[in-house]
Structure 1
């Protein structure tokens, strides 16, 4: 198991080789300071999907503020538990004295394989390409659609085009073709979506991108993808298009299962790449 316990662990760079880089909290509110960047992934019994892609996404987001993020990443991965089901998060926050990199160790919350969705009432994103700055606003978006029975809010842009879920990426099937929102629509690059698309391409599945409005997804099988849940099939689009049954979801989940690798191949040194 990791020497670190559940909770928030600020990182201190430049420590001696025999010292821990993790320090006790030195401020009262662990949420103090603006969240500049964050990334999360799931680790189940020491196995993980798409770790290198999470690394690349986080380092790109942190780059404008820190030049030691690679060292932090290595320390964070080395601290991950070797057993159990975990959903760690790495963070960069703005502090009065500068920026703070931290690792938040969290047990994986309840997950599901199906979800009802609803169109988001608005698009609150201010940094649509960076994961972190808008997380609180996106959570509020989810809360806003919960009274309708939805577990995820689908964001559409000013032209009504489907972009992404509040905390998820989207794929849908039109006939035999697997479709994603047009690449030109600004959104967080989804690691889980990319893993599925790569597997589909390797399997010879036709792929396409589209500037689609909710009504255009009528009769389609819709997948809602995230690092936490993996692949959830959308059962109903509340006050939206009628969706097709999730007949292909087992195939997508098999693709994701095939992408999992051992974080600790020899149960010693962590595999810091994908």
Structure 2
């Protein structure tokens, strides 16, 4: 098995370190799938990462842009990878870093459960500050045969998955949680909704509890797996599935893959 590699940005270049340095938390993070040098919507990941760094750190935009380009240049052009760019707090200073990780196995289906504790996030619209906490909750859920915990609001409305966005179908209309709930701007969900608009598919946003999704087809989507169909919701609604729909939309999503330049 190929071991992950870790690089710290010195301000001029990426310096590989044998171990991840001790740090006081992840401030911003972004990740995406690289398959034989191809990536979906890399520009959207770049824009989201730069916005996050600007909002959460004192690092200026030119420095972040230089780091980003160096990180992209360092990505392998063969094999399957799941790199992550980060802003970490090391010794009290925000530091940019790259984790070069082999991609884990991909899946097309997922089992979910609502988080009993409600919304555990501290920064709801930026990927990074809560990534370690959400990862721990996902690991705990896996012990109960749950692949993806679902974050719900105090009122019980679906917001997000721990590492994914949630979408659902009512008939032929595609829905997402209301943006007013405060959620990470998912690149994959945005790409799917843009594809829906381009193909004449109606879309919308709504406040919905898990019970409100009874009889719907529900997707959990992210940059690693693309689209995964929810096959079970522990202590939740009975869901439906339209044969072939997720596969067809995954093909549309994969058509967005472009070579790294």
- Confirm or deny a common fold (TM above 0.5): yes
Name the TM-score, length of structure 1 as normaliser: 0.88
Tell me which residue corresponds to 1:124.
Answer: 120
Deviation at 1:77, TM superposition (A): 0.6
| Counterparts of 1:188 and 1:31, CA distance in 2 | 26
Structure 2 unaligned residues grouped into runs of 5+? none
Q: Which runs of 5+ in 1 are unaligned?
A: 15-20, 264-269
Which protein shows a greater Rg? 1
> Contact 1:233 / 1:246 at 8 angstroms: preserved in 2?
no
Cα 1:97–1:161 change in 2 (3 A) is closer
Aligned to 2:14, the other structure's residue is in SS state coil
Which residue of structure 1 lines up, in the alignment, with residue 58 of structure 2? 65
In 1, the alpha carbon distance for the partners of 2:139 and 2:232 equals 17
Partner of 1:243, secondary structure, is: coil
Q: How does 1:29-44 map to 2 (within 5 A)?
A: 29-44=20-35
Match of 2:42 among 47, 51, 56: 51
- Structure 1 position 29, deviation (Å): 4.8
Deviation track 1:157-212 (CA, whole Å, cap 9, x = no partner) reads 01100001000001110011001101111010000001110111111011111100
Partner secondary structure for residue 179 of structure 2: coil
1:91 aligns with one of 52, 72, 86: 86
User: Cα RMSD over matched residues?
Assistant: 1.5
- Equivalent position to 1:166, from 156, 162, 168: 162
1:22-33 alignment to 2 at 5 Å?
22-25=14-17, 29-33=20-24
Counterpart contact for 2:23–2:91, Cα < 8 Å: no
1:249 paired residue number: 246
Which is worse superposed, 50-59 or 95-104?
A: 95-104
Partner of 2:214: 218
Cα shift readout 1:22-60 (whole Å, capped 9, x = no counterpart):
22438x653523211110011101100010110011001
Shift of 1:246: 4.6
2 CA distance for matches of 1:29 and 1:91?
12
Q: CA separation in 1, counterparts of 2:185 and 2:213? A: 21
Q: Counterpart in 1 of 2:228? A: 232
The Cα shift of 1:136 comes to 1.1
Asked if residue 12 in structure 1 is aligned to residue 4 in structure 2, the reply is no
**1:148–1:238 contact (8 Å) kept in structure 2:** no
SS in 2 for 1:80: coil
> How many pairs align?
253
**Structure 1 equivalent of residue 191 of structure 2:** 195
